[in-house]
Structure 1
Amino acid sequence: MSIDAYLTLGIFVGTIVGLVTFQQRPAAVFGVTLMSLVALGLVSRAQLLSSMVNPGLVTLVLLVLCSFALEKTRLLRVIASKMIVSSYQSTWFRLFGITAACSALLNNTAVVATLLSPIRNNPHHFASKLLLPLSYAAILGGTLTLIGTSTNLIVNSLFIEAEGHGLSFFSFTAVGALLVVGCGIVLRLASRWLPEISVEDSGSKGYFIDAKVKLGSELIGRSVEANGLRHLESLFLVEVVREGRLISPVAPTEVIEINDKLIFSGDVAKVRQLDQFTGLESFAHENGLLDRNLTEVVVRPESVLVGNSLKSAGFRALFDAAVVAIRRDGEQISGKLGEVLIRSGDFLVLAVGEDYPSRRNISKNFIVLSGVEPEMRLNGWKAWLAIGGFLLGVGLAATGLLDMMQSMLLLLGILIFTGCITVNEIMRRFPIDIWLVVSTAILLSHALVNSDVVSVLSHWINASSDKNDVYLALIAVYVATWLMTELVTNNAAAALMFPIAYSIALGLGVDVMPFVMTVAFAASGSFMSPYGYQTNLMVFNAGQYKLTDFFKVGAAVSVTYGVIVLSAVPVFFPF
């Protein structure tokens, strides 16, 4: 082999070692790989540019951006409110079925993030008995369609680069359906081994936020549970103030009445979730100040506010700002927001007016920390546009009437034009890590071809193997990809194993599709480690699991998953 071949192989191996060593920083590892390939001249300028604008990669990025609008609607929260009932059996199957179905079309990380809070706060079951099945259901649901998981889209990007055309929307569906059913049955049986862990109530942590129930509100006359007030993301209903009387803790059966003050605690950036409930308003929202970014401040010891309440101090007149939330380290705050006596060192989040920056008393009273951008929520016709537009775009692409990239590009333009998504939001949340990983993986594939590593590997396999070894090679590809996804991440595993699997198929002289699909499914088969898949890591922390919990349940699911993939792929994608 040439010097370029040895250099390329060295970079390939070094990338794998880097991913294992720096598991939490895959983008940085791929960034070094990208610079190494360019610096050593192993790829051309045209290949560098084409890898960054690969149609599959552009489609993946557009899908992620369009999904931001969908996350801001009530869709998943409404679904979550209907999911948990008193029967564990019924709850489990609702949770598994709905999560798998949603993950087939939506970003599974967003699905899990939305459902975490209602599961953690549910009054009927241990959260630890449901959170791990939630993650596994999201993984399994993602295998149903081309857009179900970023792994499938990454494999599609690499396939387009190699073959000149992409996979169809339903290429994954037949095998994915078998995985959902087969692994779902095993997961239900294995759920008995999940621990019963009482998750600590998060109600006393974070900021203290209140909102008033106005006349005509949809909340009036319905219980806390029926209104979905226990299913908010990172906000917890801790108290209700009613006619001077404090109700705490708040039971799920508590019926909301007019003029109730609802006291929440949690992440102030999630305060715009309250917009989804008609007739529930905070002071800042009522005065139109929440349309602006928020400012976080600390009360100085010499502030005129110390010892006074916000109401008695005339806060709005003094600072042209409204207090959205209060936090006091080491102590839980109780009662109405406007009647809390302010102390030095209190953290306040302010919704500020136009005159706020010019007020000379700001620096005398506060230490300004930073800006806090509230997460906007979509309601009314904008919510219907986001949901309907996404489903229509996916439907047109699934039926072949419109290319997926075209439909998502048109949808993104409409969402920006109608204000459902802002340009600033796109810039802030642009999936740079995914873009860097995929474009570098495509570039690495080019380098392997340029340096003749692929042809040498194919020739070696062709000379030392025969048709009888094809299935053994498929098993080897699955195991190698599965090990890599457990050790590093699913996206990195798919990106690195694709060129190897493709070369093996060429060397054996068989159709590449069985090997391509095996890589896609194996890269999503992370069940035994919390670190191989983002949703696993999310529930690992939220459910307070141990590594042994993942191994006990995940081992059975993982074996079932592997058997189904290696049995079904050759049937639906013959050699």
Structure 2
Amino acid sequence: MSGIEFFGIAWDIWLIYGLIIGVFVAFLMERMPPDIIALGALAILILTGILTTKDALSVFSNPAPITIGAMFIISAALERTGCVEYLGRSINRFAGKGQLGLILAVTPVALVISAFMNNTPVVVVLTPVLIALARKMDIASSKVLIPLSYAAILGGTTTLIGTSTNLLVSGIAENSGAARFSMFEITAPGLILAAVGTLFMVLIGRHLLPARQSLSSMIGGGTGKKYIAQLLVPHNSALIGQKLTSSMLNKGEDTHILDVIRHGDSMKDHLDELLLKAGDRIVMETNAGEILGIKESGAVEFDTSTISDFEPVSASQNVVVEGIVGNNSPLIGKMVSALRFRRNYGVYVVGVHQAEHRTAIGGPKRQQLQMGDALLLEGPIQGMTQLFEDSGLVNLTVQEEQPMRRNKAPLAVLTLIAVVGLAALDVMPIAALAIIGAFFVAVTRCIEPRDIYKTIDWSILFLIFGMLGLSLGMERTGAAALVVDQVVQLAETLGGPLMILAVFYILTSVLTEIVSNNAVAALLAPIAIGVATSLGLDPKPFLVAVMFAASASFATPIGYQTNTFVYGAGGYKFKDFLVVGIPMNLIMFAVSMVVIPKFWPF
């Protein structure tokens, strides 16, 4: 089959292009996790013979994913020893009054921490701090959470270890024979971008932020973001015999009865004349205040499982809290109906909010949980505490005290300093230093050895492995060379390397807003190296453009994990990110086009 061509292009090149398009479409459709999609692409390349088994296994020897995994462990050690929490408390001490004071307090903290550890846990830890401070100052949390995410993103662009994308691009450069990046090589231009971005948020961006209500802000009542819950009419309910449309269930201004399930049958077509009976399950859409008010009336019970094993819990003994699905939560990918919180913890899922859409509890819209989804929970304090500890949920309602190994904090900090310092002095490669550092924080019990595997975001690592395989397939078939030739011709038309730099930045930035930044970097970094080499130029400025643009994901909540997390926590709408993020992207592009050639001449 090696000689088969279509329109003068070999079949395997067409297969690679089709596979790339298919992967990106699959990323957008979200029917399967991105890491499984990427590994599926690698499997197809092996099955078609484009990559040999040896080729496929070679991607697992790339130093970038190994370094990223080790840095996840060191980052977790800094978090578990209270280092991040300590800096978070400093926000409380230095925060001024109002939105501007909070932004000015949180930005430098997030920038500094994110420069040296994975920025997602930074945002996860600091989000409850900001929500609590915002509530105390009577400010909508949506006024400060996007600035937190942006600050963490910008901080990640200031060092080699600031984000997994930087390490990935550096690893690709090293494997391709180009010069690898040193620890602080991107620090100066990164700080310029961070300074300009912060200035924009302080002067203009903060005025573009909406005043949205999160679930946690609605727990005491009020209207705002709606979600769906399913209620059970018990045998002793005062609602029995009442007409649905005139009952207390239909009194709320924001309430909409979607369906009544009776003996497994939908009564949707008879809601206007329906008289309620014991055992009816009512699917309703309303706000948190209305649902909690109905719960307190005692006329209904929350149906989160089956009727037969329902055990009512006294509301007076319970607390109501909001939890957000964290980036490493074992709940990711699970159905709400399969959570078994009531059986295991005595905790009820009162409502679920999944970004722009709602999910019924055990109802017809069963969908899988993803990072950033918000759960409104009710149950006893002890069960709630255990649930949050086991599930990877982040408590946004109350500041829970977690066991911190504060006496180990100096060891964790010294480990990070050693890794960063020795890498900067080029004593050893960053991959080796990160592995040694990860071993040290484990053996000194800054983090429990059994918890190490939980701290690594394996989905990111296997996404990178899969995309590196696809990049290798592009190289083996000549698909990458064909793209390079086209870009080189484009360079001659456009008239200079600066325009090519702009093309790479814009392409990376646009793709990063809709799919994983690591996936985009894995595909475009080798092409950037090939184009620069063909033109007789230094690959560094083009790689930096890919690096910065892959991190500069400000315009959507799905391009970067920190945006995804605050999306649910702040009660944002998709358009909120567009309003403030598009100007931010344009500014970062303009600054990058000036700064990158100054530090890395073509």
TM-score normalised by length of structure 1: 0.69
The equivalent position to 1:145 in structure 2, one of 159, 177, 199, is 159
Q: Structure 1, residues 245-298: CA drift from partner, whole Å, max 9, x if none? A: xxxxxxxxxxxxxxxxxx98758999xxxxxxxxxxxxxxxxxxxxxxxx9874
Give the structure 2 partner of residue 555 of structure 1.
582
Q: Bigger shift: 2-11 or 169-178?
A: 2-11
Give the structure 1 partner of residue 97 of structure 2.
87
Give the structure 1 partner of residue 507 of structure 2.
480
Give the structure 2 partner of residue 492 of structure 1.
519
Letter in 1 for 2:97: S
The equivalent position to 2:191 in structure 1, one of 155, 169, 177, is 177
CA distance in 1, matches of 2:441, 2:18: 45
CA distance in 2, matches of 1:112, 1:370: 17
Cα 1:78–1:496 shift into 2, 3 Å: same
SS of 1:487's equivalent in the other structure is coil
Displacement after TM superposition at 1:71 (Å): 1.4
SS of 2:176's equivalent in the other structure is helix
Give the structure 2 partner of residue 362 of structure 1.
none
Give the structure 1 partner of residue 557 of structure 2.
530
Q: Structure 1, residues 280-335: CA drift from partner, whole Å, max 9, x if none? A: xxxxxxxxxxxxxxx98749xxxxxxxxxxxxxxxxxxxxxxxxx8647779xxxx
Give the structure 1 partner of residue 72 of structure 2.
64
Give the structure 1 partner of residue 535 of structure 2.
508
**5+ residue gaps, structure 1:** 206-262, 271-294, 300-324, 332-344, 352-368
The equivalent position to 1:36 in structure 2, one of 44, 61, 69, is 44
Matched, 1:468 2:478: no
Checking the alignment, whether the CA contact within 8 Å between 2:75 and 2:117 is kept in structure 1 is: yes
Matched, 1:564 2:572: no
Letter in 1 for 2:210: P
SS of 2:513's equivalent in the other structure is helix
CA distance in 1, matches of 2:513, 2:427: 38
Letter in 2 for 1:196: A
Displacement after TM superposition at 1:20 (Å): 2.5
Give the structure 2 partner of residue 191 of structure 1.
206
Checking the alignment, whether the CA contact within 8 Å between 2:484 and 2:527 is kept in structure 1 is: no
Q: Bigger shift: 479-488 or 8-17?
A: 8-17
Checking the alignment, whether the CA contact within 8 Å between 2:82 and 2:406 is kept in structure 1 is: no
Give the structure 1 partner of residue 114 of structure 2.
103
Displacement after TM superposition at 1:478 (Å): 1.2
CA distance in 2, matches of 1:385, 1:265: 37
Matched, 1:405 2:434: no
Checking the alignment, whether the CA contact within 8 Å between 1:5 and 1:448 is kept in structure 2 is: yes
Q: Bigger shift: 413-422 or 104-113?
A: 413-422
**5+ residue gaps, structure 2:** 1-8, 221-317, 326-339, 352-377, 393-400
Displacement after TM superposition at 1:545 (Å): 1.5
Q: Structure 1, residues 442-463: CA drift from partner, whole Å, max 9, x if none? A: 2222211211223333345446
Displacement after TM superposition at 1:508 (Å): 2.5
Q: Structure 1, residues 471-492: CA drift from partner, whole Å, max 9, x if none? A: 2222111111111011112222
CA distance in 2, matches of 1:565, 1:450: 32
CA distance in 2, matches of 1:182, 1:439: 34
Letter in 1 for 2:207: R
Letter in 2 for 1:176: G
Displacement after TM superposition at 1:423 (Å): 3.7
CA distance in 1, matches of 2:142, 2:379: 34
Displacement after TM superposition at 1:144 (Å): 0.3
The equivalent position to 2:128 in structure 1, one of 117, 122, 126, is 117
CA distance in 1, matches of 2:562, 2:549: 16
CA distance in 1, matches of 2:405, 2:491: 60
CA distance in 2, matches of 1:20, 1:204: 33
Identity across the alignment (%) = 29
Runs of 4+ displaced beyond 6 Å: 202-205, 267-270, 328-331, 345-348, 373-376
Give the structure 1 partner of residue 60 of structure 2.
52
Matches within 5 A, 1:260-339: 266=321, 298=343, 327=347
Displacement after TM superposition at 1:523 (Å): 0.8
Checking the alignment, whether the CA contact within 8 Å between 1:296 and 1:347 is kept in structure 2 is: no
Cα 1:142–1:48 shift into 2, 3 Å: same
Give the structure 1 partner of residue 479 of structure 2.
453
Matched, 1:11 2:22: no
Checking the alignment, whether the CA contact within 8 Å between 2:408 and 2:446 is kept in structure 1 is: yes
The equivalent position to 2:460 in structure 1, one of 434, 439, 442, is 434
Displacement after TM superposition at 1:99 (Å): 0.8
Letter in 2 for 1:195: P
Cα 1:9–1:130 shift into 2, 3 Å: same
Matches within 5 A, 1:220-239: none
Cα 1:370–1:188 shift into 2, 3 Å: closer
Checking the alignment, whether the CA contact within 8 Å between 1:51 and 1:442 is kept in structure 2 is: yes
SS of 1:163's equivalent in the other structure is coil
Matches within 5 A, 1:354-365: none
CA distance in 1, matches of 2:34, 2:350: 37
Displacement after TM superposition at 1:127 (Å): 1.5
Cα 1:13–1:380 shift into 2, 3 Å: closer
CA distance in 1, matches of 2:565, 2:379: 30
Checking the alignment, whether the CA contact within 8 Å between 2:528 and 2:543 is kept in structure 1 is: yes
Give the structure 2 partner of residue 216 of structure 1.
none
CA distance in 2, matches of 1:201, 1:458: 50
TM-score normalised by length of structure 2: 0.67
CA distance in 2, matches of 1:200, 1:480: 36
Q: Bigger shift: 149-158 or 419-428?
A: 419-428
Letter in 2 for 1:43: L
Checking the alignment, whether the CA contact within 8 Å between 2:319 and 2:379 is kept in structure 1 is: no
Cα 1:269–1:491 shift into 2, 3 Å: closer
Cα 1:465–1:165 shift into 2, 3 Å: closer
Q: CA RMSD in A?
A: 3.3
Q: Structure 1, residues 166-203: CA drift from partner, whole Å, max 9, x if none? A: 21111211221110111111111220222233545479
Cα 1:563–1:482 shift into 2, 3 Å: same
CA distance in 2, matches of 1:378, 1:48: 41
Q: Bigger shift: 410-419 or 26-35?
A: 410-419
Checking the alignment, whether the CA contact within 8 Å between 1:5 and 1:453 is kept in structure 2 is: yes
Matched, 1:420 2:452: no
CA distance in 2, matches of 1:471, 1:459: 17
